Amino acid sequence: MVHYIQARLAWEHPREWAVFEAVRDQVITVRFTSRSARYRNHEVEALLDIAEPGSSVLVSESYGTLSVPTGHGTLRCFCVADADEPWRECSVAPWEPVSHEDLIDRLEDRGGFSIPGALLPLE
């Protein structure tokens, strides 16, 4: 899942079209006009559900996203990391925080967090 701010920044800043070539284990290979690149992703099955080798993808290396056109001007966006860099463990904090410990986990694992206004006390 891609955070909406990450997706927005990836869209607003330089990105590059590539051709999706293959998936092996959790590594996605794409071909740009002048080079190939390999990215890690935990949701390769979801990518394979909507794209096949030879499909066009839009990559923002600066913001770690790979997007697949899904029709009607929309994109499905995936988080990716350089497959040649050391792997970093993903956060295990729940998506919706239910305790202050969850928020501490998010701060340690992700460097911060946001809380929907509906979850804040009114007093």
- What count of other Cβ atoms lies within 10 Å of the Cβ of residue 57? 25
Sign of CA dihedral 68, 81, 60, 27: negative
Fill in the DSSP letter of residue 78. E
Domain membership flag for residue 54: yes
Whether residue 123 is contained in a domain is answered as no
Residue span of the structural domain in which 28 resides: 4-82
Q: Are residues 69 and 106 in the same domain?
A: no
pLDDT at residue 118 tops 70:
no
- The pLDDT value recorded for residue 42 is 87
Q: Which two tokens stand for residue 25?
A: 């284990």
> Which pLDDT score, from 0 to 100, does residue 6 have?
82
> Does one domain contain both 90 and 77?
no
Q: How many domains does the chain have?
A: 2
In a domain, 78, yes or no: yes
68 in the same domain as 105: no
Mean of pLDDT over the chain: 84
User: pLDDT tens across 3-32, in order?
Assistant: 777 888 888 999 999 999 999 999 999 999
Are residues 26 and 56 both part of a single domain? yes
Q: How far apart are CA 101 and CA 24, in angstroms?
A: 36
Q: How far apart are CA 81 and CA 87, in angstroms?
A: 8
Cα distance between the two ends of the chain = 33
User: What pLDDT score was predicted for residue 99?
Assistant: 75
Same domain, 98 and 74: no
Within 10 Å of residue 50's Cβ, how many Cβ atoms? 13
Assess whether 106 and 66 both reside in one domain: no
Pair 102, 63 in one domain: no
- Residue 74 and residue 97 in one domain: no
Per the domain annotation, does 56 fall within a domain?
A: yes
Confidence band of 92 (pLDDT split at 50, 70, 90) = low
Instruction: Report percent pLDDT > 70 for the chain.
Output: 76
Six-digit token string for 94? 């729940």
Look at residue 101 and tell me if it is in a domain. yes
For residues 77 and 91, membership in a common domain is answered with: no
Task: Region of 81 please: left (phi>0), alpha (psi -120 to 50) or beta.
Answer: beta
Pick the residue with more confidence: 96 or 75? Answer: 75
